[in-house]
Structure 1
Amino acid sequence: MTTRILALSAYHAQSHAQWLSGLERHIPGADWTVLALPPRHFSWRLRGNSLSWAMLEREVLEGEYDLLLATSMTDLSALRGLVPALTRIPNVVYFHENQFAYPQSDRQLASVEPQILNLYTAVAADKVLFNSHYNRDTFMAGCDSLLARLPDYVPREQVAERLAGSEVLPVGIEPQSASLRPPGERLSVLWNHRWEYDKGPQRLLALVEACEAEGLPVDFSIVGQQFRRQPPEFKAVQQCIERSQSLGLVNFGFVDDAEAYRRCLSQCDVVLSTAIHDFQGLAVLEAVASGCVPVVPDRLCYGEWFGEQFRYCGQQGGGETASALQMLSRRWQQKRRRTLPECNIDGLYWECLAPQYRSQFDRALAEHKKSGR
């Protein structure tokens, strides 16, 4: 029997689009209706999506559906109030990130409202899913810390009990054809993240400068999604590599052609993360699926996917730079000996995860039917 699913993505960033398209491809027997809002004007999008949809897409929202699937950016509690028809179907909320653990930039106004919206949406959900334990743990801790600071009539224990049934189910990745890396005397390093402050451009610059000072023979590919305003460290990274006697710059900038991007991944030895935050690290996982060896910090979500041999440690900043430099040096030596390690992420492919999503959806439908709502 076909399951009619209404999917709401209130801030349809690249990882959100990837998740949703993966579900559409890999879950059979589902009829999808999708409403998505573009990933811009963050504060308005976060607070205004319920008003936008309720006023502009009411006919779609009041259609016949078996299940509502919403991202955590959706103002679910308000939307259900504005469109009562949505209260008659079960819902599942998916957290790609949470606003308690998301680092603020200098351009953002400090506000507790994004956190409150995350909390209200989670409490309004029949089922909450997170893409990593790191995401879930920081959300739970953040909610409890916020509630502890409020003055009175705070349902702290009740909220914790309500959210205790949340589970972890990562975004799936597609298998890639991992080509054999050619041997050689130089190490090819990929950095393939959004060109924004939260991906650690300062740490990337510090590591590039350390590689230059050490004289490591490293070829960098600095790629990833770019925006109109970019942290100035990227220009400094480019200049450091271009004037270096030991470093090389193979790719620099966004690779918009999908085939060219896959080719870039398949030609690199190592994928590097310097992130301040990552709730799952899809860019790293995609590169690992293409055969890259991860070099990632020993924090955030990475301990869930990769063993200790792939994680550099030390305090954020100088200690991490030294540890990452040591790991890159080790990978270079291993490449020369043709002994680069392999990293297994079989459990993160859609083939493994799609049946688990299907099971979650079926369970939500069964529990809703059982409740007689």
Structure 2
Amino acid sequence: MSHRVLLLSGYDAASHQRWRKGLADHLPEFEFTQLALPPRHFSWRIRGNSMSFAGLHRETLEADYQALLATSMVDLAALRGMVPALARLPTALYFHENQFAYPKSATAHASVEPQIVTLYSALCADRLVFNTGFNRDSFFAGAEQLLRKLPDLVPPGIVSQLQARASVIPVLLDDACFPPSGTSRAPNRRPQLIWNHRWEYDKNPALLLRALELLCIEYNGALPFTLHVVGQSFRQVPAEFSAIKQRLSDAGGLGQWGYLPSSEYRPLLQTSDIVLSSADHDFQGLSVLEAVAAGATPVVPGRQAYPEWFGASACYPVTGALEADAQAFAAAIAARLAPANPTPGPDLSALQWSRGGQAYQQLLQQLSALHRL
């Protein structure tokens, strides 16, 4: 018998889309009804998504389901009040990120509201699922800190109650991300490096730029590699990107530039030797994981989720000081370029849907069982 699952994505960014579509593609025993809101106007979306869902999709929300799976961007507490039928559904809240550890934009209006919305949603859910241990631990640390700041009448034990409901299941990768066994790079060719992230402030393009400047000095102005700088960009692109492009062009290291469709991006990953990250924010680091799955060696900072995936010793040290971090980043790149140090990427085969999908299957089966009790 097919289990009917309502899946809600409150701010449907690219990684959220990939996650929910992966569930529908790889778990055929579940019948998913998906509702997603566009990833724009963040402040309004996180506060207003309950009204948007309830006012625009009430008939769909009130249909018959065995379980509800929602992203942590969904204002679950308000939505259950507006659509009481949802309050009877066993519910899992999936965290792609959390608002306690998300880097603050210099232009964003400071508000505790996103944190409160997410905390209330967590209190309404039967299960909390995080994509990494880092995401889980930083959420609970942030919630504990916030609760201590509230003036009075805070019930005891809130965080411990939520921790008892928590588990970690990463966003999984399509099996096509992994090359066939025995695939190897052509020897004695120019090293191919890739930086494949959103072109936004939280990916720290200033750190990449400064590291490239130091490498140009190290290699006397002519870089011995090609760097592909690809990824999604938006209306406001950080100024560092134009300087990065000019620096690479002047040093003979400019490769692919800008957004690439999947038909071009996948082959590029499969020919990349080293994948770079300068990010201040990566709760899972999907773009790096995809490149490593395709055979690239990671050069990533020792923060966020990266030590969890690759081990602290495999990450370059970061302090938050631009010059020191750029020197460590540049040194790590140079070390990976050395002929005597062709460090292979770690084995990420456990992230394949064919191997990791069972965890999602068990989660949804457990929720459906609660519905029958």
Residue 202 (1) aligns with residue 201 (2): no
Number of the residue aligned with 2:347:
344
Number of the residue aligned with 1:35:
35
Mean Cα deviation higher: 155-164 or 234-243: 155-164
Q: What is the TM-score with the length of structure 2 in the denominator?
A: 0.94
Number of the residue aligned with 2:369:
366
How far does residue 174 in structure 1 lie from its aligned partner after superposition?
Answer: 1.6
Q: Percent identity?
A: 47
Distance in 2, matches of 1:210 and 1:272, equals 15
How far does residue 352 in structure 1 lie from its aligned partner after superposition?
Answer: 2.0
Distance in 1, matches of 2:162 and 2:6, equals 24
Number of the residue aligned with 2:258:
253
Change (3 A) 1:163 1:123: farther
Mean Cα deviation higher: 228-237 or 347-356: 347-356
Residue 319 (1) aligns with residue 324 (2): yes
Distance in 2, matches of 1:327 and 1:148, equals 40
RMSD: 1.5
How far does residue 295 in structure 1 lie from its aligned partner after superposition?
Answer: 0.7
Mean Cα deviation higher: 214-223 or 16-25: 214-223
Number of the residue aligned with 1:220:
227
Distance in 1, matches of 2:324 and 2:356, equals 36
**2:274–2:296 Cα contact (<8 Å) kept:** yes
Superimposed CA distance per residue, residues 84-117 of structure 1 (whole angstroms, 9 cap, x where no aligned partner): 0111211111000000000111221000000001
Number of the residue aligned with 2:239:
232
**1:298–1:313 Cα contact (<8 Å) kept:** yes
Number of the residue aligned with 2:194:
190
**2:307–2:314 Cα contact (<8 Å) kept:** no
Residue 80 (1) aligns with residue 91 (2): no
Name the SS of the counterpart of 2:215 in structure 1. helix
Distance in 2, matches of 1:156 and 1:241, equals 55
Residue 292 (1) aligns with residue 296 (2): yes
Distance in 2, matches of 1:162 and 1:298, equals 28
Residue 181 (1) aligns with residue 185 (2): yes
**1:186–1:219 Cα contact (<8 Å) kept:** yes
Distance in 1, matches of 2:145 and 2:204, equals 26
Name the SS of the counterpart of 2:157 in structure 1. helix
Q: What is the TM-score with the length of structure 1 in the denominator?
A: 0.94
**1:200–1:276 Cα contact (<8 Å) kept:** yes
Mean Cα deviation higher: 162-171 or 59-68: 162-171
How far does residue 299 in structure 1 lie from its aligned partner after superposition?
Answer: 1.3
**2:303–2:318 Cα contact (<8 Å) kept:** no
How far does residue 28 in structure 1 lie from its aligned partner after superposition?
Answer: 2.4
Task: Give the unaligned 5+ runs of structure 1.
Answer: none
Number of the residue aligned with 2:282:
278
Number of the residue aligned with 1:127:
127
Name the SS of the counterpart of 2:160 in structure 1. helix
How far does residue 182 in structure 1 lie from its aligned partner after superposition?
Answer: 2.3
Distance in 2, matches of 1:91 and 1:342, equals 37
**1:185–1:217 Cα contact (<8 Å) kept:** no
Mean Cα deviation higher: 360-369 or 198-207: 360-369
The one-letter code matched in structure 1 to 2:103 is P
Distance in 1, matches of 2:280 and 2:125, equals 29
Distance in 1, matches of 2:93 and 2:211, equals 38
